Amino acid sequence: GIDVPIVSMIHQYLITEPLDAMKACDVEMPVIRDPRSSCYYRREIDSLLIGPYETRDSITYGVDGIDWNLHFHLTPPDLEQLAPWLEISTERFPVFAEAGIKQVVSGPITHTPDGGYLMGPVAGARNYWMCAGASIGITQGPGAGKYLAQWMV
């Protein structure tokens, strides 16, 4: 195996109960990334999805290793951990203040110490390349894949 400086951190997001404002909206709502509040928001059918970028009091997961048989493993939700971002969300989206909670999803995602990617040729492994630790999610995947492919050829 190859040791890489990656750690899994617990990430949570919340989906509201269906909202009349979302039901009445007949245009596609873009994903909103708000660096000031350290959250992202998007429409989830007739609900609103709120996901914080946990920058403080983050919880590590599986520091001593993660079972290879775990797939799509979820952890118990922690609303207390989400509370600071939920308060900010009501300022950004006043309709959220009256919304019920439909679901909270909580589970580990990978992070690097500097928040960037581990991308490039792997030292000591001929013709082996890596693109890992991109905790930002799938939004940057196509671009990362493009630049890694260009780098490889």
Model confidence, pTM: 0.79
Strands 47-52 and 39-44: antiparallel
> What ranges do the domains of the chain cover?
7-111, 114-153
Residue 125: Cβ within 10 Å count: 10
- In this predicted structure, what is the pLDDT of residue 7? 86
CATH H superfamily, domain 7-111 = D-Amino Acid Oxidase, subunit A, domain 2 (3.30.9.10)
Q: Say yes or no to pLDDT of 55 above 80.
A: no
Higher pLDDT, 66 or 81: 81
Query: Of 16-20, 40-44, 74-78, 141-145, which gets the smallest average pLDDT?
Result: 141-145
For 34, phi then psi, to 5°, come to -115, 95
CA 5-9-12 angle, 5° bins:
150
- In this predicted structure, what is the pLDDT of residue 36? 81
Percent of the chain whose pLDDT exceeds 90: 33
pLDDT in tens, 18-54: 999 889 988 888 999 888 888 899 999 999 999 998 7
- In this predicted structure, what is the pLDDT of residue 50? 93
Q: How far apart are the C-alpha atoms of 148 and 106, rounded to whole Å?
A: 30
- In this predicted structure, what is the pLDDT of residue 136? 67
State the sign of the Cα–Cα–Cα–Cα dihedral 110, 38, 59, 72: negative
pLDDT in tens, 98-129: 899 999 999 888 888 777 888 999 998 999 99
Tokens 């994903």 correspond to: 31
- In this predicted structure, what is the pLDDT of residue 137? 64
Distances in Å between the Cα of 7 and the Cα atoms of 10, 12, 41, 52, 101 are 10, 16, 25, 18, 29
- In this predicted structure, what is the pLDDT of residue 100? 94
Q: How far apart are the C-alpha atoms of 12 and 78, rounded to whole Å?
A: 8
pLDDT in tens, 61-73: 888 877 777 777 8
SS (H, E, C) 57-108: CCCEECCCCCCCCCCCCCCCCCHHHHHHHHHHHHHHCHHHHHCCEEEEEEEE
